[in-house]
A and B are shown apart, each in its own frame.
Chain A
Amino acid sequence: MASMSKADIGRFLARQGILIAFAVFIIGFTLANERFLSPDNVMGVVRSSAILGVMALGVTFVVISGNLDLSVGSMMSFSTIVVLDLHDKIGPALAIPAMFAMTLCLGAFIGFLVGYLKLNSLIVTLGMLSAIHGLTLTYSGGQNMDIVDKEGTWFAVFGQGSALGIPVPILIFVLLAALLGIILAKTPFGRTVYAVGGNGTAATFSGIKRARVVFLCYVMSAFCVAVAGLIQASRSLGSQNTVGQGLELDVLAAVILGGASLLGGSGTIFKTVIGVLILGFIQNGLLLVGLQFYVQFVVTWVIIILAVWLDIAAKRGKLWSNIA
């Protein structure tokens, strides 16, 4: 250890950079405000990260398969609005599956465009971001959506309930993370996701149906968005049309922070969960030290840049390099 050279230190920083930066933040925030690490605050952070976290789980699949999904924010607004509207019209028991079906259709449509028609995912999902926003506004007529009888519905359980002393959103996040983590790491489908993202041509030559894998990743992502929309709707029992606006960037930040490469082929669900928590704690810490909420937008951007840089640095094994 004593003989660690400059290069070794560089390599270590590059590999563990995110965790080190995170540790520095945590220590700094704790010194600035002792409430930061209190059980209440920690639970609060995890709970408020659940919605973002659930969405990040699905986007992890998309990113590992070598694509992007920038439509998840506006898709989440859509799911929330739809389920709230249908709640009073056909009752929660039918509203939930109907909302899931509609959201999955959106995911399937994107999956079709990117997977089967091989259109660029950045363009497709950026377009869908705006198209789905339009769809939501058309659906709601631009009105906020509210459940009339807020006291008497069991629908509130997903966002406000708790079981075994743990808030339901956290339970959903943890269970879904475990399920998707196993699918990604242990099943043949998960393996093909890595192969398609790592080298699509080689995957095709290995008999993997690349288009189908990409398609399924987007359906998976839409499923997670529907779950997130459900939690969101159930938590507030009323919503604006723009509730998910901007979340796509936070989600992407969390996924990259966790170490998934934007080039595809690497990343894990576990790492994404870590990324979600890092993002959640940093944003919470900034509020606690008294910075305005709006500062978060800038900070999220800084975090994305930092994460991308460290991702490249880790591959090169050093922080700086004159070799591309």
Chain B
Amino acid sequence: MTGQPPALRLEGIVKTFPGVRALDGVSLSVMPGEVHALMGENGAGKSTLMKVLGGIYQPEEGQIIVAEMPTVMTSPLQAKSKGIVFIHQELSLAEELSVAENIYLGELPQLSFGRVDWAKLYTQTDAILEKLKVGFSAKTIVGDLSIANQQMVEIARALTVDAKAVIFDEPTASLTDAEKVVLFDVISDLKSQGVGIIYISHRMEEIFKITDRISVLRDGSYRGTLETRNTNEEEVTQLMIGRALDLSRNASHHEMGNVALEVRGLSCGDLFKDVSFEVRRGEVLGFYGLVGAGRTEIVETLFGLRNPSAGTILLDGEEVHVSSPADAISKGISLVPEDRKGQGLVLGMNCRDNMTLPQVGDLSSGPFVATGAETEIFDKYKDKLDIRTPGWKQTVGNLSGGNQQKIVIGKWLSMHPKVLMVDEPTRGIDVGSKSEIHNLIRELAAQGYAVIVVSSEMPEVLHVSDRIVAMFSGKVMRTFASQEVTEESLIQAISGITATDKVA
């Protein structure tokens, strides 16, 4: 590797937005065949740096050097033609089109008279999909795919070009463990072809598994580069957030109260069948399983978004029928949804108004919205969740991905629900804030909330839950108490292996 010129070099990049100095003279170089991690807190400037590299933003200062040639990136298309491929943090697919059309958008194979060569398009696409070992075909409509599978389409797109450098901006945020393995295979393939890879993620295990070097950004400035094999999580964290992290679980054992929510034999078509569980006040119940196991569908049903086909829901011991989200909210059930962009936020609205949206009707003085009270709520949760934004007036769409997620969490926490359901609560959130959110969830339980956490991250489920429900293809396989659960038994349960020790 030494002696070779870098595949890609960034020098002294400066980029500002109104009120934010997002990048303050950042330099970075990536060698061919290297997996280079880019780390930093939410809002540190990682995505912005990559958007500069990908031709989406123009930097005010600094230069980009591709294969020793200074280059000005004027558009994503041009960046692509220079061999720089970008897999975005936020999905950018055409939902109405097929997988194949999305992958080859703008470059569809053609016959005479501009007709599309569909046969060729589909065989080409299927070849790529096969490499990715995904369970859908070239003709599937993208909108019908789960978020994880949409992410795979985005990745497939990158494999169609002859890339010099591939940027992955939090590719695993919505992937399951099995899908991650496939992704890592793809990355090591690219690596062996001499492609330089920039890999952005908040997940330490991954970073240490697949990267060669780690560069750290903090508040828009470059903090240093570490050799992955000569460093450890503590050192990286220290560099990222300027302090060490307390990862110990808030073990203070508190009293469990009454059963707040009980579900008996709940079914919803083919999505999930005969699901029963209960959550007490003061308890955190984790739901773990593969994507498609029906976890999201269960919480959506409890939130009034789907009609159950059978079963009963009891709230504080009384049978209830939840007809709509508005109804759920009035009964004290809240849901932090899994798709922040589509379901969680009105991107064009400001931070404060997004956060108070579910309660805007209650926060009134006379006929008017009590904006003072709104700002108070916003400020409180901005501090509590450490949301990085110049102020409440900032449009949510301009926030970094992780900070957007925090707005969604703040939105539902500030409602003080009886039962709080969170679906993938820390997707895209940096290590520091992640442990803060975990602590917050524990703290909420301690205050007497009943909390349901759906997560695809095993460490997260193990960390926050008092009990864990393991699901496989719409069925509850087993419910574990936190002291009896092991990683092994959990993996067995969610893979559909009916453990014999269930009987014992």
Interface residues of A (CB under 8 A from B): 7, 186-188, 191-192, 194-195, 198-199, 201-209, 265-266, 322-323
How many B residues have CB within 8 A of the partner chain?
Answer: 33
Evaluate contact between A207 and B326: CB separation under 8 angstroms: yes
Task: List 20 other contacts, CB 8 Å, given A7-B58, A192-B361.
Answer: A187-B367, A188-B361, A198-B347, A198-B348, A199-B347, A199-B348, A202-B345, A203-B357, A204-B305, A204-B325, A205-B325, A205-B337, A206-B358, A206-B411, A207-B325, A207-B329, A208-B326, A265-B348, A322-B77, A323-B56
Query: Contact check: which of A192, A198, A207 meets B328 at CB < 8 Å?
Result: A207
Closest residue of chain A to B412 (Cβ to Cβ) is: A206
Tell me the smallest distance from the CB of A319 to a CB of chain B, in Å.
Answer: 16
B25 proximal to A (CB < 8 A): no
Top 3 A-B residue pairs of the complex, sorted by shortest distance between their CB atoms: A198-B346, A207-B329, A207-B326
* A194–B348 alpha-carbon span in the complex (Å): 9
B353 proximal to A (CB < 8 A): yes
Evaluate contact between A194 and B346: CB separation under 8 angstroms: yes
Evaluate contact between B369 and A191: CB separation under 8 angstroms: yes
Task: List residues of chain A with CB within 8 A of the CB of B343.
Answer: 201-202, 205
Evaluate contact between A206 and B369: CB separation under 8 angstroms: no
Contacts A/B (CB < 8 Å), 12 sampled: A188-B360, A188-B363, A192-B360, A198-B346, A198-B348, A199-B342, A199-B346, A207-B328, A208-B326, A209-B326, A322-B75, A322-B77
Within 8 A of A (CB), among B342-374: 342-349, 353, 357-358, 360-361, 363-364, 367-369
Within 8 A of A (CB), among B436-476: none
B76 proximal to A (CB < 8 A): yes
* A207–B328 alpha-carbon span in the complex (Å): 8
* A228–B13 alpha-carbon span in the complex (Å): 57
B39 proximal to A (CB < 8 A): no
Tell me the smallest distance from the CB of B407 to a CB of chain A, in Å.
Answer: 11
Q: Is the interface of A mostly helix, strand, loop or mixed?
A: helix
Task: List residues of chain A with CB within 8 A of the CB of B76.
Answer: 323
Closest residue of chain A to B336 (Cβ to Cβ) is: A205
Evaluate contact between B345 and A186: CB separation under 8 angstroms: no
Tell me the smallest distance from the CB of A18 to a CB of chain B, in Å.
Answer: 19
Evaluate contact between A265 and B358: CB separation under 8 angstroms: no
* A323–B78 alpha-carbon span in the complex (Å): 11
Closest residue of chain A to B364 (Cβ to Cβ) is: A188
Evaluate contact between A201 and B325: CB separation under 8 angstroms: no
B324 proximal to A (CB < 8 A): yes
B165 proximal to A (CB < 8 A): no
Evaluate contact between B368 and A186: CB separation under 8 angstroms: yes
Evaluate contact between A195 and B346: CB separation under 8 angstroms: yes
* A322–B349 alpha-carbon span in the complex (Å): 26
Task: List residues of chain B with CB within 8 A of the CB of A323.
Answer: 56, 75-76
Task: List residues of chain A with CB within 8 A of the CB of B361.
Answer: 188, 192
Task: List residues of chain A with CB within 8 A of the CB of B368.
Answer: 186-187
Closest residue of chain A to B339 (Cβ to Cβ) is: A201
Tell me the smallest distance from the CB of B147 to a CB of chain A, in Å.
Answer: 14
B335 proximal to A (CB < 8 A): yes
* Proximity bits, B49-85, A CB within 8 Å = 1, else 0: 0000000101000000000000000011100000000
Task: List residues of chain A with CB within 8 A of the CB of B56.
Answer: 323
Evaluate contact between A198 and B349: CB separation under 8 angstroms: yes
Evaluate contact between B369 and A186: CB separation under 8 angstroms: yes
Evaluate contact between A203 and B344: CB separation under 8 angstroms: no
Q: A191-B357, A192-B360 are in contact. Are A199 and B75 (CB under 8 A)?
A: no
* A206–B349 alpha-carbon span in the complex (Å): 14
Evaluate contact between A202 and B369: CB separation under 8 angstroms: no
Evaluate contact between B369 and A205: CB separation under 8 angstroms: no
* A323–B324 alpha-carbon span in the complex (Å): 39
Evaluate contact between A202 and B342: CB separation under 8 angstroms: yes
Tell me the smallest distance from the CB of A45 to a CB of chain B, in Å.
Answer: 33
Evaluate contact between B353 and A191: CB separation under 8 angstroms: yes
Task: List residues of chain B with CB within 8 A of the CB of A202.
Answer: 342-346, 357
* A266–B58 alpha-carbon span in the complex (Å): 27
Evaluate contact between A206 and B325: CB separation under 8 angstroms: yes
* A198–B347 alpha-carbon span in the complex (Å): 7
Query: Contact check: which of B337, B349, B363 meets A194 at CB < 8 Å?
Result: B349
Evaluate contact between B344 and A205: CB separation under 8 angstroms: yes
Task: List residues of chain A with CB within 8 A of the CB of B346.
Answer: 194-195, 198-199, 202-203, 265
* A99–B56 alpha-carbon span in the complex (Å): 55
